[in-house]
Amino acid sequence: MIPTPHIGVMEQGIIAETILLPGDPLRAKFIADKYLPDAVQFNTVRNMFGYTGTYCGKKISVMGTGMGMPSIGIYSHELIHLYGVKNLIRVGSCGSFQAEVKVRDIVIGMAASTNSNYASQYGLPGTYAPTASWSLLKKAVDVAAGKGIPVKVGNILSSDIFYDDNPEAWKKWARMGIMAVEMEAAALYMNANRAGVNALCLLTVSDSLVTHELVSAEERQNTFTQMMEIALELA
């Protein structure tokens, strides 16, 4: 095995079968430092930090993916097809589209609608609906319930656009029941579904398009620990 242009790992087994995937590599470092006391760093290529350690006796990895579907599409494809990862859990932030989905709430993406053209590569004769793995989704809901952590489960939007030319466009998605917006889950779900492995997206609401409340970049990087703890239990 040779390292890819994006992951500098030379041999199988260094990356665990279950991996947490925050967009921000500094969030990956935070998770490793806080929860994986025996963590060993396996990736520094492009400063996309990756670590493997143990949590409650179970081997688990964490690595940043960067922003957007092209970026997570690259990393998740390589992790699945070259490094044998079976469970890919995105842990990120999102913007709320609904008044009842409040800042710091935890959202689980049962499905990921998208304005991306990512699915065109499959040549499907229709519109594909990217969905999470049921086994990971159910386990995450059960773990959250056991910890007494409320979660909201439903449809999210994976958007290719951060600064939309039409600032009111999000309201059309909101009318369709979309809970929140982020930028990666749909590609992750498609890659996982195509390969027959498991994927799930856990999000903490960092801002609201309804109320305009938001948290700081530092808080997004270093807090949101309830979401992380749910994800770690999925190993």
List residues with catalytic annotation: 207
Sign of CA dihedral 50, 90, 13, 73: negative
Is the alpha carbon torsion for 102, 108, 114, 118 positive or negative? positive
CA distance 79 to 86: 9
Long-range contacts of 132-137 (CB under 8 A, 24+ apart): 132/108, 132/189, 132/199, 132/200, 132/201, 133/87, 133/192, 133/197, 133/198, 133/199, 133/200, 135/198, 136/87, 136/89, 136/198, 136/199, 136/200, 136/234, 137/108, 137/110, 137/200
Contact 55, 35 (CB under 8 A): yes
Nearest to 12 by CA among 20, 22, 2: 2
Residue with tokens 């309830």: 226
Nearest CA to 221 out of 60, 33, 24 is that of 24
State the first-to-last Cα distance of the chain, in angstroms, to the nearest integer: 25
